[in-house]
Amino acid sequence: MRAWWGIALLLISAAGAQETPKHFVRLDFSNPSIIPAQWELVVYADGSGHFHAVRGNAKDSDAGEMEPLTIDEDVHLSGSFAAQILAMLKHHRVGDGQCESHSKVAFQGMKTLAYQGPEFHWSCTFNYARDKEVAMVADLLMSVAATLVEGARLELIWQHDPLGLDKELEFLSDASSDGRLQQICAIKETLTRLAADPSVMERVRKRARKLALCNP
């Protein structure tokens, strides 16, 4: 009887843990005319998260750039970054239909931003957000997604076109400096391996080594 009661307590405890909502923010993005056409990025309060992206049916670029078909991976962002974006949203209580600005702007991709906090949750869908904090968080998460896509692209180029690494690392360096790419440490493992590869150009290794010194 004691053994059964112990198992029951464990099951109750596990069920309670599953019911406890985690503090997170999620951004879903969709634009069939670009690559990747769809992706979802979830970031939890401790900086952990997950990224899933699907290439879609858009035509290859004229430059013939390599694009990953699917990305599905756990991600690790800095705790301070996660705290920043969650803090920007924790006082908001917006719902569907309350985010879109309805301004006459070009289609930039549909975005659904969802927030799960300790006391409430919400989600809303928009092309161009009217709320300053919602727009800023979406932009930050899109820059993180761009970093993760670049990391997957870097792996492809490294495997199939090593001579293309020089151009790609130059872009990564410039884009991480001007803010187009955020949380470059999310692809630190790839950069560290690349920096240690004697088969690639020294200039590529040097840039990869410098990028891998990012502050988490």
Structure confidence at residue 176 (pLDDT): 95
In which order are the strands placed within the sheet that holds 121-126? 70-76, 48-54, 38-44, 24-30, 110-116, 121-126
Domain annotation covers residue 13: no
Look up the domain containing 131 and give its range.
22-211
Domain annotation covers residue 131: yes
Structure confidence at residue 179 (pLDDT): 93
Domain annotation covers residue 190: yes
Structure confidence at residue 61 (pLDDT): 61
pTM recorded for the entire structure = 0.86
Domain annotation covers residue 58: yes
Number of domains into which the chain is organized: 1
Structure confidence at residue 51 (pLDDT): 98
Domain annotation covers residue 29: yes
- Reduced to 3 states (helix: H, G, I; strand: E, B; else coil), residue 155 is helix
Domain annotation covers residue 185: yes
- Mean pLDDT (10-residue bins), the chain, 216 residues: 41 45 91 94 97 88 70 96 94 80 87 92 92 93 97 94 94 95 97 96 96 86
Cβ-based neighbour number of residue 183 at 10 Å: 26
Domain annotation covers residue 6: no
Structure confidence at residue 99 (pLDDT): 87
Instruction: Provide the total of helices (H) and of strands (E) in the chain, helices listed first.
Output: 6, 6
Structure confidence at residue 130 (pLDDT): 87
